Amino acid sequence: MPILEYHLIGDKDGTYSREVNHFRRDIQLLYDRGYRPITVAQLMDKKFDIPAGTSPVVFTFDDASPGQFRYIEKNGQLEIDPNSAVGIWLDFNKKHPDWKNRATFCLLPAAKAGHAFFGEKGIEGQKSEWRFKKVKFLADQGFELCNHTLWHAQLNKYPDAFVLEQIARGVMAIDSAVPGYKVRTMALPQGLWPKNRPLAWQGSWTDKKSGRTIRYAHDGVLKVAGSAAPSPFTAAFDTHSMPRVQVIGNAIEKTLDRLEATHERFVVGSAKP
Ligand SMILES: [Zn+2]
Query: Residue 41: in which H helix or E strand, if any?
Result: helix 40-45
What is the Å distance from ligand 1's center to 261 Cα? Answer: 31
What pTM was estimated for this model as a whole? Answer: 0.95
Read off the DSSP letter of residue 129.
G
What is the Å distance from ligand 1's center to 266 Cα? Answer: 28
What is the Å distance from ligand 1's center to 153 Cα? Answer: 9
Residue 273 has pLDDT above 50, yes or no: no
What is the Å distance from ligand 1's center to 190 Cα? Answer: 6
Residue 18 has pLDDT above 60, yes or no: yes
What is the Å distance from ligand 1's center to 14 Cα? Answer: 15
| Average pLDDT of the segment spanning 19-48 | 97
Dihedral over alpha carbons 45, 46, 50, 55 (to 10 degrees): 130
Query: For the segment 215-246, what is each residue's pLDDT rounded down to a tens digit?
Result: 999 999 999 988 999 999 999 999 999 999 99
CB atoms within 10 A of CB 23: 23
What is the Å distance from ligand 1's center to 51 Cα? Answer: 32
CA neighbours closer than 13 Å in the CB half-sphere of residue 239: 17
User: Around ion ligand 1, which residues have CB less than 5 A away?
Assistant: 62-63
Q: Parallel, antiparallel, or unpaired for β 202-206 and 213-217?
A: antiparallel
Query: For the segment 49-105, what is each residue's pLDDT rounded down to a tens digit?
Result: 999 999 999 999 999 999 999 999 998 899 999 999 999 999 999 999 999 999 999
What is the Å distance from ligand 1's center to 107 Cα? Answer: 8
Query: Which pLDDT score, from 0 to 100, does residue 270 have?
Result: 55
What is the Å distance from ligand 1's center to 63 Cα? Answer: 5
Residue 62 CA to residue 5 CA, distance in Å, equals 7
Query: If we measure between CA atoms, which residue out of 185, 195, 203 comes closest to residue 241?
Result: 185
Whole-number mean pLDDT of the chain?
Answer: 94
What is the Å distance from ligand 1's center to 122 Cα? Answer: 21
Query: Which pLDDT score, from 0 to 100, does residue 111 have?
Result: 84
What is the Å distance from ligand 1's center to 263 Cα? Answer: 32
107: three-class secondary structure by DSSP: strand
> Where are the domains positioned within the chain?
3-261
Residue percentage of the chain with pLDDT more than 90: 88
| Average pLDDT of the segment spanning 26-50 | 97
What is the Å distance from ligand 1's center to 19 Cα? Answer: 18
End-to-end distance of the chain based on CA atoms, in angstroms?
Answer: 15
| Average pLDDT of the segment spanning 241-253 | 96
What is the Å distance from ligand 1's center to 256 Cα? Answer: 24
What is the Å distance from ligand 1's center to 117 Cα? Answer: 13
Query: For the segment 145-171, what is each residue's pLDDT rounded down to a tens digit?
Result: 999 999 999 999 999 999 999 999 999
Question: Class assignment of domain 3-261?
Answer: alpha beta
